Amino acid sequence: MALNSRELNRQLQKLRKSLKNFPKQPTVEEVHDLRTRSRRVESILEALEMNSGNEKKILRHLKSIRRRAGKVRDMDVFTLYIVGLGANEDGSCIVRLVHHLGLERRRHDRKLYSLVQRDAGDLRRRLRRAQLQLRSLVQRFVRSIANLNRKQKAKTEEPPLHAVSVALRLFEELAAVRHLGANNLHSYRIEVKRLRYILEMAEDDAGEQHQFIEELKEVQDAIGEWHDWLELANIAHRVLTHGNGCRAIQKIEQTTRKKFTQALHTTQQMQQRYLAAPGAGRKGKSVTPGAEPRLPIPALAATSHLVS
């Protein structure tokens, strides 16, 4: 199987839909869709090295929109967590936090709306052009694979091959991480998410390939949930000023520690199953110093689906 041209174009089309008539007071789902669709399109354009003037402008605008949507999304998630604590954890503090998050949400969604209003028209036109370019490059790559005996060599690396290069580099970087902790777990999640999005560009597949992508998503979600609670704890300490004796803060910090333990365990299990290099010891022990790094078999199998 190779790149799923139809699905790639569908991702761009879904983003165009999110940008069209974006509401002044967006729902949780509308903000979530805009943010995740923006990130997926960014991953597609970057992985396929679509770096013409049109695509560069798309990426520049999407980066601003995605970050602003992320601010709104954070307030939505934090509010959901706080309400879930219940009034038993100090009702007055819960109400105060919810009020603060509501004000912040409104401030950020106004900025998001203004940004989308300014850029949506141009972005939707540029995304349409990118869809045509994407369809063309996938068709060109399919023809080149079918004609391996052609005499003229390509002057540059074909975009799908560039996606394979990016995926393999991400595999190497993730496999090279021997120790995970609070200082690098969130950055590890960012690379996991990038790898997942690239692998999902291939045609649908079953078996180990599908299972690996699902585990990447589990890691992404587990680390993301821990990081959300960590950010919420920081906000609680700023907003609630009566010290560590606050039951709400105590519950938030307790939950944060629990989520960290869960995220670390989920990530380490995925590493052992899919990212352990051949010859490495159990639990990701270091290989012989100076030895040439070797990619695990799942890495080679997963990336091969992008071009075969």
SS (H, E, C) the chain: CEECHHHHHHHHHHHHHHHCCCCCCCCHHHHHHHHHHHHHHHHHHHHCCCCCHHHHHHHHHHHHHHHHHHHHHHHHHHHHHHHHHCHHHCHHHHHHHHHHHHHHHHHHHHHHHHHHHHHHHHHHHHHHHHHHHHHHHHHHHHHHHHCCCCCCCCCCCCHHHHHHHHHHHHHHHHHHCCCCCCCCHHHHHHHHHHHHHHHCCECCCCCHHHHHHHHHHHHHHHHHHHHHHHHHHHHHHHHCCCCCCCHHHHHHHHHHHHHHHHHHHHHHHHHHHHHCCCCCCHHHCCCCCCCCCCCCHHHHHHHHCCEC
The full set of domain ranges for the chain reads 1-148, 157-308
Q: Whole-angstrom Cα distance, residue 70 to residue 88?
A: 30
Q: How far is CA 118 from CA 53, 61, 111, 138, 233, in A?
A: 19, 10, 11, 32, 34
CA 29, CA 73: separation in Å to the nearest integer? 9
The confidence score (pLDDT) of residue 84 equals 85
Contact 55, 159 (CB under 8 A): no
Q: pLDDT tens digits for 5-40?
A: 888 899 999 999 999 999 999 999 999 999 999 999
Backbone angles phi, psi at 291, to 5 degrees: -75, 150
- How confident is the model over 138-161, as pLDDT tens digits? 777 666 555 544 444 444 455 567
Of 3-17, 101-115, 178-192, give the lowest mean pLDDT range. 3-17
pLDDT in the model for residue 159:
57
Gap between the Cα atoms of 104 and 98, Å rounded: 10
Distance (Å, rounded) from C-alpha 27 to C-alpha 34?
11
Q: How many CA atoms lie within 13 A of 282 on its CB side?
A: 0
- How much is the average pLDDT of 292-308? 55
Dihedral Cα 72, 75, 81, 87, nearest 10 deg: -140
Asked which of 110-114, 138-142, 246-250 is least confident by mean pLDDT, the reply is: 138-142
Backbone angles phi, psi at 293, to 5 degrees: -65, 140
Q: Tens of pLDDT along 46-97? A: 888 887 899 999 999 999 999 999 999 999 999 999 988 865 667 888 999 9
Q: Please give the model's pTM, rounded to 2 decimal places.
A: 0.83
Nearest Cα residue to 12 out of 54, 75, 70, 53: 54
